[in-house]
Amino acid sequence: MQASRARLFKEYKEVQREKTADPDIQLVCDDSNIFKWTALIKGPSETPFEGGIFQLAFSVPEHYPLQPPQVRFLTKIFHPNVHFKTGEICLDILKTAWSPAWTLQSVCRAIIALMAHPEPDSPLNCDSGNLLRSGDVKGYQSMARMYTRLAAMPKKG
Protein backbone atom coordinates (compact mmCIF):
# COMPACT_ATOMS: atom_id res chain seq x y z
CA MET A 1 0.00 0.00 0.00
CA GLN A 2 2.74 2.44 0.97
CA ALA A 3 4.83 1.49 -2.05
CA SER A 4 1.97 2.14 -4.44
CA ARG A 5 1.16 5.46 -2.77
CA ALA A 6 4.77 6.59 -2.98
CA ARG A 7 5.00 5.60 -6.59
CA LEU A 8 1.77 7.40 -7.47
CA PHE A 9 3.09 10.55 -5.82
CA LYS A 10 6.14 10.32 -8.05
CA GLU A 11 3.92 9.99 -11.08
CA TYR A 12 1.82 12.89 -9.88
CA LYS A 13 4.91 15.08 -9.57
CA GLU A 14 6.13 13.99 -12.98
CA VAL A 15 2.75 14.80 -14.53
CA GLN A 16 2.78 18.26 -12.93
CA ARG A 17 6.29 18.88 -14.14
CA GLU A 18 5.75 17.77 -17.72
CA LYS A 19 2.27 19.05 -18.26
CA THR A 20 3.14 20.38 -21.66
CA ALA A 21 5.37 17.48 -22.68
CA ASP A 22 2.57 15.49 -24.30
CA PRO A 23 -0.24 17.76 -25.50
CA ASP A 24 -2.39 14.74 -26.39
CA ILE A 25 -2.68 13.55 -22.81
CA GLN A 26 -4.04 15.31 -19.77
CA LEU A 27 -3.82 13.21 -16.64
CA VAL A 28 -5.60 14.35 -13.50
CA CYS A 29 -5.58 12.81 -10.08
CA ASP A 30 -8.73 12.75 -7.99
CA ASP A 31 -8.61 15.48 -5.34
CA SER A 32 -9.22 13.17 -2.44
CA ASN A 33 -8.01 9.78 -3.63
CA ILE A 34 -4.65 9.17 -5.22
CA PHE A 35 -5.82 5.75 -6.45
CA LYS A 36 -8.40 7.34 -8.75
CA TRP A 37 -7.28 9.18 -11.85
CA THR A 38 -8.92 10.43 -14.98
CA ALA A 39 -7.31 11.26 -18.30
CA LEU A 40 -8.37 13.21 -21.33
CA ILE A 41 -6.77 11.97 -24.51
CA LYS A 42 -6.99 13.37 -28.02
CA GLY A 43 -8.14 11.04 -30.77
CA PRO A 44 -5.12 10.39 -32.98
CA SER A 45 -5.03 12.17 -36.31
CA GLU A 46 -5.86 10.37 -39.53
CA THR A 47 -8.21 8.08 -37.65
CA PRO A 48 -11.97 8.25 -37.25
CA PHE A 49 -11.30 9.50 -33.72
CA GLU A 50 -9.50 12.66 -34.86
CA GLY A 51 -10.90 15.78 -33.29
CA GLY A 52 -12.47 13.91 -30.40
CA ILE A 53 -11.53 14.18 -26.75
CA PHE A 54 -11.91 10.90 -24.88
CA GLN A 55 -12.12 10.52 -21.16
CA LEU A 56 -10.51 7.55 -19.39
CA ALA A 57 -11.04 6.44 -15.80
CA PHE A 58 -8.17 4.81 -13.93
CA SER A 59 -8.59 2.71 -10.86
CA VAL A 60 -5.21 1.88 -9.37
CA PRO A 61 -4.87 -1.34 -7.33
CA GLU A 62 -3.23 -1.58 -3.94
CA HIS A 63 -0.22 -3.45 -5.29
CA TYR A 64 0.44 -1.08 -8.15
CA PRO A 65 2.83 -1.11 -10.02
CA LEU A 66 3.12 -4.86 -9.51
CA GLN A 67 -0.46 -5.07 -10.73
CA PRO A 68 -1.75 -3.06 -13.69
CA PRO A 69 -4.23 -0.23 -13.22
CA GLN A 70 -7.80 -0.79 -14.39
CA VAL A 71 -8.69 1.59 -17.18
CA ARG A 72 -11.90 2.15 -19.05
CA PHE A 73 -13.32 4.66 -21.46
CA LEU A 74 -15.89 6.97 -19.93
CA THR A 75 -16.56 8.48 -23.35
CA LYS A 76 -18.52 6.28 -25.72
CA ILE A 77 -16.29 4.93 -28.48
CA PHE A 78 -16.81 2.59 -31.42
CA HIS A 79 -13.66 0.49 -31.49
CA PRO A 80 -13.12 -3.29 -31.77
CA ASN A 81 -11.15 -3.52 -28.54
CA VAL A 82 -13.36 -1.37 -26.35
CA HIS A 83 -16.60 -2.63 -24.86
CA PHE A 84 -19.35 -0.43 -26.25
CA LYS A 85 -21.38 -0.35 -23.04
CA THR A 86 -18.83 -0.54 -20.22
CA GLY A 87 -15.83 1.10 -21.88
CA GLU A 88 -13.63 -1.85 -20.88
CA ILE A 89 -10.42 -2.03 -22.89
CA CYS A 90 -8.83 -5.20 -24.27
CA LEU A 91 -5.13 -4.48 -24.30
CA ASP A 92 -2.41 -6.98 -23.48
CA ILE A 93 -0.31 -4.57 -21.42
CA LEU A 94 -3.26 -4.05 -19.10
CA LYS A 95 -3.47 -7.79 -18.50
CA THR A 96 -0.79 -10.41 -19.14
CA ALA A 97 1.88 -8.22 -20.68
CA TRP A 98 1.87 -5.67 -17.88
CA SER A 99 5.26 -4.47 -16.70
CA PRO A 100 5.85 -2.38 -13.58
CA ALA A 101 7.91 0.00 -15.69
CA TRP A 102 4.73 1.28 -17.32
CA THR A 103 3.23 4.45 -15.89
CA LEU A 104 -0.25 5.91 -16.11
CA GLN A 105 1.11 8.31 -18.70
CA SER A 106 2.58 5.54 -20.84
CA VAL A 107 -0.64 3.53 -20.52
CA CYS A 108 -2.43 6.53 -22.03
CA ARG A 109 0.05 6.51 -24.88
CA ALA A 110 -0.58 2.81 -25.43
CA ILE A 111 -4.32 3.43 -25.56
CA ILE A 112 -3.85 6.17 -28.13
CA ALA A 113 -1.78 3.73 -30.18
CA LEU A 114 -4.53 1.12 -29.84
CA MET A 115 -7.07 3.64 -31.14
CA ALA A 116 -4.96 4.12 -34.25
CA HIS A 117 -4.25 0.41 -34.66
CA PRO A 118 -7.27 -1.71 -33.68
CA GLU A 119 -6.88 -5.47 -33.24
CA PRO A 120 -10.08 -6.85 -34.77
CA ASP A 121 -9.11 -10.44 -33.91
CA SER A 122 -9.63 -9.97 -30.18
CA PRO A 123 -12.78 -7.89 -30.18
CA LEU A 124 -14.80 -6.67 -27.24
CA ASN A 125 -17.08 -4.87 -29.66
CA CYS A 126 -18.01 -7.59 -32.14
CA ASP A 127 -19.92 -5.31 -34.52
CA SER A 128 -16.90 -3.11 -34.87
CA GLY A 129 -14.53 -6.08 -35.14
CA ASN A 130 -16.68 -7.79 -37.74
CA LEU A 131 -16.73 -4.73 -39.97
CA LEU A 132 -12.94 -4.66 -40.02
CA ARG A 133 -12.59 -8.41 -40.35
CA SER A 134 -14.91 -8.50 -43.31
CA GLY A 135 -12.84 -5.76 -44.93
CA ASP A 136 -15.43 -3.03 -44.64
CA VAL A 137 -13.02 -0.32 -43.58
CA LYS A 138 -15.30 2.39 -44.84
CA GLY A 139 -18.20 1.10 -42.79
CA TYR A 140 -16.02 0.88 -39.68
CA GLN A 141 -14.66 4.37 -40.17
CA SER A 142 -18.00 6.00 -40.69
CA MET A 143 -19.50 4.31 -37.63
CA ALA A 144 -16.49 5.25 -35.54
CA ARG A 145 -16.51 8.80 -36.84
CA MET A 146 -20.20 9.15 -36.09
CA TYR A 147 -19.75 8.11 -32.48
CA THR A 148 -16.73 10.38 -32.17
CA ARG A 149 -18.93 13.30 -33.28
CA LEU A 150 -21.79 12.27 -31.04
CA ALA A 151 -19.86 11.54 -27.90
CA ALA A 152 -16.36 12.98 -28.03
CA MET A 153 -16.72 16.42 -29.54
CA PRO A 154 -17.94 19.55 -27.82
CA LYS A 155 -21.46 20.43 -28.92
CA LYS A 156 -21.52 23.34 -31.31
CA GLY A 157 -23.61 26.39 -30.67
Partner 1 sequence: MEDESATNSHDSICPICLGPLTQDSYLDHCLHKFCFNCILRWTKVVSSKHQTPPSSVKCPLCKTDNFSIIYGLDGTSFQRHYINTNLQDCFVLSKGHRFRLQCYYTQQGFLEDIFNISLYWKSRKYNQPNNWLRTWLTREIQALTQEEDVDIIVHHISGVVKPLWTSKEQKLLTKEPEKIQEEFMMSVSEAARPFLGARTDRFVHEIQLFLASGLNIEAYDAVYIQRLGWSSPGVNTEVSQNELIDRTTVIPYLYIFDDDSDGNE
Q: Which residues in this chain contact partner 1 in the complex, by CB under 8 A?
A: 2-3, 6-7, 10-11, 14, 17, 63, 65-67, 99-101, 103
- 6 vs 135, which CB is nearer to partner 1? 6
Q: Give the span between the Cα atoms of 128 and 73, in whole angstroms.
A: 16
- Tell me the CA distances in angstroms from 110 to 71, 102, 145, 157, one per residue in order: 12, 10, 20, 33
We find the least distance from the C-beta atom of residue 11 to partner 1, in angstroms, to be 7
Check: CB of residue 56 under 8 Å from CB of residue 74: yes
Check: CB of residue 90 under 8 Å from CB of residue 125: no
Q: Give the span between the Cα atoms of 65 and 145, in whole angstroms.
A: 35
Check: CB of residue 47 under 8 Å from CB of residue 57: no
We find the least distance from the C-beta atom of residue 100 to partner 1, in angstroms, to be 5
Check: CB of residue 140 under 8 Å from CB of residue 128: yes
Q: Does the annotation mark 108 as catalytic? A: no
We find the least distance from the C-beta atom of residue 22 to partner 1, in angstroms, to be 17
- 90 vs 93, which CB is nearer to partner 1? 93
Residues serving a catalytic function are 90
